A and B are shown apart, each in its own frame.
Chain A
């Protein structure tokens, strides 16, 4: 296990976007907070509750945007992770050292699925605090110090906890896709992206022509849809009316926390089957790295 810290550091040396992207988003966010003006037309001044609501929604929006950018970076990272060393022929250097193929592949998977998401979460939470403090300090931007108060602690924490659950759920939900990208990265001789997209595309076309159905597309789009993992926890209640959304009121993200059903998110067959598929695919990626011989 003491091998892993250096294996992880190595990934951040090679793929700088992994840490540059969340920090760049954070910088953008902080800059926006420092100069942003909120125009509310005739409705000024806002009530305290409205001000807080706006800040919460803006904070949540920026958090999600940052995480999406990080998600895109992670996809490109996974596509490149086992391909780059073959492209630049450095694979024999890495293989000349006593690091097993399993450790190499698992370290890369851990970077994509644990380290970077955690890093992004911490960056997002801190940036949100800094951005609020900035807005509070500036006062006059249409929002008063009191409204911008970060000491609306409960709501902020709820939002962070919800975000964290969302990240963990997404990581687990997307694990088979990450593992699939690793396999393609270990397998393709060139244009990994194209090879990764091709098999599902061909399957869809064949299915469409032969069976005239769209099951593959439904399966894939369900797996790819970003809201799926978190929505699974609240959709049942939305349907049954436990949560009512008043269209005239801003629903604060944190407020949904009370309605999140962790069991429904984490203990559903689709997610667990996905994890099983991910484990198989990771095993395939390890074997490919071990025995792929093209030098």
Chain B
């Protein structure tokens, strides 16, 4: 699988979806390359989950969408051999026993490595004969992760996978994901509210708001495009003149956010930083008029 990098894993063109009058996705375009970890980030109701559902073939859509070269609405069953997803934590059936979960996935998924799932479970407190209803929320996520990690899939889609978990479980979840799962042939697409926690993981970010893509960039390019200026008090007028798209008060000082301004231009006006993804997210969401 060396040629995966030239063909995008996901390619959307004019992807749109309406629920009655509500335009959940308003004809968006984006690409996800192989071997990337992409964060699909947006406020509630921005269309993140709708986009993921279209990618997973769970909902009809308008426009063009190819996932691993297939149309997810027509070839969903075949696609699920190569795509895994975790929708959110409460999703495993409560009556299912851990051993049954392994039996079932082993029975239906040709690329499931049971030994690997068992090895991962052995590092947790989860017992084979437990039912899902007897496990804590964190353990259910661990079990789900154990199942998913053991599937040799090319695309993993995570929709708020750590919602409602405490910090220890969240941290462990993402560590396991990056260390034990991710490699150059695999692609991860995830949504989360807790941007801060995943920003060091991501290679790409796609911000969406009101069904439109607001930003689609590689994380390594963000520093060249976006700058955050903690403005010196006497330089406020000059800073404003350079048309920041967002400003924010931090400890009595003003931070201005710029797009496409040169560092040399801004440096004399105060302290210059590369904004964090979380800051950039807030800046982008509030800076763009709804």
Contact = CB atoms under 8 A, between A and B. Distances in A.
Contact of B85 (A14, A96, A98, A293): A96
A97 B106 CA distance: 10
Contacts of B245: none
24 contacts: A3-B107, A3-B108, A9-B103, A9-B107, A13-B95, A13-B96, A13-B97, A13-B100, A14-B93, A14-B96, A89-B90, A90-B91, A92-B58, A92-B85, A93-B87, A93-B93, A96-B56, A96-B87, A100-B76, A290-B76, A291-B59, A291-B60, A293-B59, A295-B87
Given A88-B93, A98-B77, 16 more contacts: A3-B107, A6-B104, A7-B108, A9-B104, A13-B97, A14-B95, A14-B96, A84-B93, A89-B90, A89-B91, A93-B87, A97-B80, A98-B80, A98-B110, A290-B76, A295-B87
A89 B91 CA distance: 6
B84 A10 contact: no
A84 B93 CA distance: 9
Interface in B81-120: 81, 84-87, 90-97, 100, 103-105, 107-110
A291 B109 CA distance: 22
Contacts of B91: 89-90, 92-93
User: Which of A13, A96, A293 has the most B CB atoms < 10 Å from its CB?
Assistant: A96
B157 to A, nearest CB: 9
Contacts of A13: 95-97, 100
B59 A10 contact: no
A95 interface: yes
B58 A293 contact: yes
B53 interface: yes
Interface string A1-40: 0010111011001100000000000000000000000000
A85 interface: yes
Contact of A85 (B93, B100, B104, B110): B93
SS class, residues of chain B in contact with chain A: mixed
Contact of B94 (A3, A10, A88, A92): A88
Contacts of B86: 96
Interface string A81-118: 00011001110110111111000000000000000000
Contacts of A14: 93, 95-96
Contacts of B104: 6, 9-10, 97
Nearest to B50: A293
Interface of B: 53, 56, 58-60, 76-78, 80-81, 84-87, 90-97, 100, 103-105, 107-110, 144
Q: Which 8 A-B pairs have the closest CB atoms?
A: A6-B107, A90-B93, A92-B87, A98-B80, A100-B77, A98-B81, A93-B91, A96-B85
Contacts of B85: 92, 96
Interface string A49-87: 000000000000000000000000000000000001100
A99 B76 CA distance: 10
Interface string A200-240: 00000000000000000000000000000000000000000
Contacts of A100: 76-77
A262 B105 CA distance: 43
Contact of A5 (B100, B107, B144): B107
Nearest to B148: A96
A99 B107 CA distance: 10
Contacts of A293: 53, 58-59
Contacts of B53: 293
A85 B110 CA distance: 23
B57 to A, nearest CB: 9
Contacts of A85: 93
A96 B80 contact: yes
Nearest to A10: B104
Contacts of B81: 98
Contacts of A96: 56, 80, 84-87
Nearest to B159: A92
Contact of B92 (A7, A90, A98, A99): A90
User: Which of A85, A89, A97, A100 has the most B CB atoms < 10 Å from its CB?
Assistant: A97
Nearest to A2: B107
Given A9-B103, A293-B53, A293-B59, A93 B92 contact: yes
A130 B84 CA distance: 50
Contacts of B76: 100, 290
Contacts of B58: 92, 95, 293
